[in-house]
Each structure stands twice: as C-alpha cells, then as structure tokens.
C-alpha cells in the first residue's frame, strides 16, 4: 500500500499558533499567531520569516526556528542523497508507541548507547528493525529526541552568549512551542510534549549568507570582503571565549547585515560547552594527572576545532579558486593562549605559597 505523505504546514501566507514558553522581551505576548512571510530553510530545522502583532500593537517581523522532526531534508536523511519523508503511517506508529508508554525507556536506551559508543546512534538505524511499524515508531522517537537536544543546545548557547546578542549573534526574543498534531490536546499531560514542536524567535537580519559572497563579481576593493570575513572569524573566537565550541561552523552559518556589512553567527544547535565538557573530564579522572589543567584542555579542544578557521580559511580558499586572489587572515594564537593560562596559574600558585610562609 502506498504511503500517505504528510502535508507541509510551512508555506508562505499560512498562520501558526505559538505558545510562548519563555520571553526575553516585554513586547512578545504569551500567545502568538504568526504569519509566514517566507520559508528561509527546511534542512536540519524549519526556519521561517514571520510577522505577528506585538503587545503594543505594531507588527513584529522576526525569524522563527522550529525543531520539527517531521520536516527537514538533512535531518531525515537515511543515506546519500536519500531521505525518509514523514508519512501518516509514521505518525500513527509513533502515536501508538507513545500511548503504550514506550518513550521513556527508549530515550534512556538510546542515550546510554550514545554515551557508551564512539559514534552516535543515528535515527535511521531503527528503520532496520524486524517489525516495520516498530521501526517507524523508533525512527520518529529518535528524531524527536534529536530535535529536543538541538533546541536545548541552542537555547543554552544563546544564554551563554547574552552579551553578544544583537551584535555578533542574533538577539533571542522567546522560546516557543507549536502543537504539531491535534493528538497533543487529547493525550495525558505527561505525554503531550512528544507531540509538540519547540522553537525560538530570533532577530531578523536583513542581509545575505557569507557563503554566497563569491557568487557574484568581486568588488573593486577586495578589502571590503577581507574585513567582513575577518570580523566573522573574530566573532567565532568571541563565542569560544564564552565557553562555547561550535560543532557546525561554516560560512553558511554566517549572515551579513546588508546595511552595516557586519556578520552574525547563526545556527547554534550543535555546540559543546566548557562546563559540560569539564564535568565529563573530571568524571573520566583526567584531573588525576598532576600536569592536567581543565582550562588548558578547553583551549586545546578549541584550537583543534578551530571555529575561526572553519570560516575564514574556507572563504580564503573559495576566493583564491574563483578569482586567483590570495587572502591572509588573523587567527588566535592558540599556543600563546594556553601558555598564558599556565603562566598565570604558576604565578598565582607561587604568590599563594609566599603568602602562606608569611
């Protein structure tokens, strides 16, 4: 029997009813009916231009990012250039799985496997279950888990980058939820979240993607491009300084404000956080080594990931390949950073010993 694909609810002109779970602006009402002005992307998440009425009356124009397991070609990828679209059969299997009380145990099982295994357990793995219906249910359950983790990661990132909001990253206005299906209003309260879609409302940047910079002809003065790219690399470093390492960092994740020609880093759903990493290091007993230092370890991890280079070096290669122009960029002195940490701690320890003797 042919599958019945789920209709796409995210189309220009359609309205979405949102519950505001946490607001960072007095202008955002507790419930919002947002009208979709434009669909920006539907890859790992659904990203929309939306408008709605503020508490004060005027229309607000923001970006709505929804972590919806049902849609997004990258998220539902099950092989090279192959996706598993959401169907009514998938949803029926998932609903039955939730109603049978299977979700808590499954989520624990996958979390424990992810912690124990070297590579994460992909959602697509469950499509190989012997029972097709159970496999579909577990596939949707794993995607739900992924979406919740993406939401929590991005919310945490914006919290840690509060002082950079509105300058190097967009301003966060609210956490929201969308009731994805009618069943959310009929199931017990403890299971309703499994049928909701979490999201965030962000500042809308009128601009262009840094990755698209080289699609047109170069400007007469290439210093303009150099300045923009250097600012983007510097922004990534500022994010690192606040205890956040981006796992998905690339020119496609930079939006350049058209008027000011200044970049904003976007898409913070895949990050590692210094506090969480340090907690794991201590659990693993790394602190038993007398020469080990968590601050040095963090910056060594930062240098390995090299978020600034993932932006600037990539753009430099593209510009050289297309236009034959070499561009050099300034990167953080990773060795100098770790050496400075060690020196400051040695000096502090020496000062402490001197104080004790007196």
H-assigned helices in the chain: 88-99, 103-116, 132-160, 223-241, 274-283, 294-305, 307-323, 334-357
For residue 195, the model assigns a pLDDT of 93
287-297 burial, b at 16+ Cβ within 10 Å, e below that, comes to: eeeeeebeebb
What gap in Å lies between CA 200 and CA 47, rounded to an integer?
10
What gap in Å lies between CA 310 and CA 277, rounded to an integer?
21
For residues 233 and 246, is the Cβ–Cβ distance under 8 A?
Answer: no
Strands across the sheet containing 263-265: 207-209, 254-257, 263-265
* Residues ≥6 apart with Cβ < 8 Å to 42: 10, 71, 72, 73
What gap in Å lies between CA 288 and CA 294, rounded to an integer?
12
Q: What's the pLDDT tens digit per position in 61-117? A: 999 999 999 998 889 988 877 888 999 999 999 999 999 999 999 999 999 999 888
User: Phi and psi (nearest 5°) for 174?
Assistant: -170, 155
What gap in Å lies between CA 121 and CA 133, rounded to an integer?
19
For residue 261, the model assigns a pLDDT of 93
The H helix count followed by the E strand count for the chain is: 8, 13
pTM: 0.92
For residue 217, the model assigns a pLDDT of 83
What gap in Å lies between CA 96 and CA 16, rounded to an integer?
26
For residue 352, the model assigns a pLDDT of 67
For residue 168, the model assigns a pLDDT of 98
For residue 336, the model assigns a pLDDT of 96
What gap in Å lies between CA 83 and CA 70, rounded to an integer?
12
For residue 355, the model assigns a pLDDT of 65
DSSP state of 217: P
For residue 331, the model assigns a pLDDT of 97
Listed residue (253, 240, 259) closest to 311, CA to CA: 253
What gap in Å lies between CA 122 and CA 339, rounded to an integer?
39
Give the dihedral sign, CA 62/63/68/73. Answer: positive
Q: Which residues of the chain have pLDDT under 50?
A: 1
Q: Is 79 helix (H, G, I), strand (E, B) or coil?
A: strand
For residue 1, the model assigns a pLDDT of 45
* Residue 100 token pair: 């049978």
User: Phi and psi (nearest 5°) for 265?
Assistant: -80, 130
């Amino acid at each position: 029997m042919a599958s019945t694909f789920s209709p796409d609810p995210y189309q220009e002109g359609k309205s979405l009813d949102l519950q505001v779970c946490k607001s960072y602006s007095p202008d955002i009402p507790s419930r919002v009916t947002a009208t979709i002005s434009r669909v920006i992307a539907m890859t790992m998440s659904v990203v929309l231009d939306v408008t709605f009425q503020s508490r004060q009356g005027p229309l607000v124009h923001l970006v709505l990012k929804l972590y919806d397991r049902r849609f997004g070609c990258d998220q539902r990828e099950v092989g090279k250039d192959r996706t598993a679209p959401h169907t009514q059969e998938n949803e029926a299997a998932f609903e039955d799985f939730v109603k049978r009380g299977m979700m808590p145990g499954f989520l624990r099982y996958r979390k424990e496997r992810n912690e124990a295994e070297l590579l994460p357990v992909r959602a697509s793995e469950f499509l190989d279950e012997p029972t097709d219906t159970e496999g579909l249910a577990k596939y949707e359950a794993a995607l739900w888990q992924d979406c919740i983790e993406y939401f929590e990661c991005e919310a945490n990132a914006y919290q840690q980058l509060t002082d950079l909001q509105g300058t190097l990253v967009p301003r966060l206005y609210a956490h929201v939820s969308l009731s994805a299906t009618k069943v959310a209003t009929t199931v017990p309260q403890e299971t309703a979240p499994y049928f909701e879609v979490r999201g965030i409302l962000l500042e809308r940047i009128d601009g262009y993607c840094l990755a698209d910079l080289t699609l047109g002809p170069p400007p007469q003065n290439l210093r303009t491009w150099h300045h923009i790219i250097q600012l983007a690399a510097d922004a990534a470093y500022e994010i690192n300084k606040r205890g956040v390492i981006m796992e998905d960092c690339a020119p496609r994740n930079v939006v350049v404000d058209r008027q000011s020609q200044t970049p904003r880093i976007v898409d913070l759903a895949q990050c590692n956080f210094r506090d969480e990493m340090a907690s794991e290091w201590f659990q693993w007993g790394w602190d038993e080594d007398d020469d080990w230092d968590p601050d040095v370890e963090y910056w060594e991890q930062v240098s390995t990931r090299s978020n600034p280079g993932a932006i600037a070096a990539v753009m430099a290669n593209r510009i050289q390949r297309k236009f034959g122009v070499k561009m050099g960029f300034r990167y953080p002195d990773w060795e100098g950073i770790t050496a400075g940490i060690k020196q400051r701690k040695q000096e502090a320890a020496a000062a402490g010993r001197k104080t004790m003797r007196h």
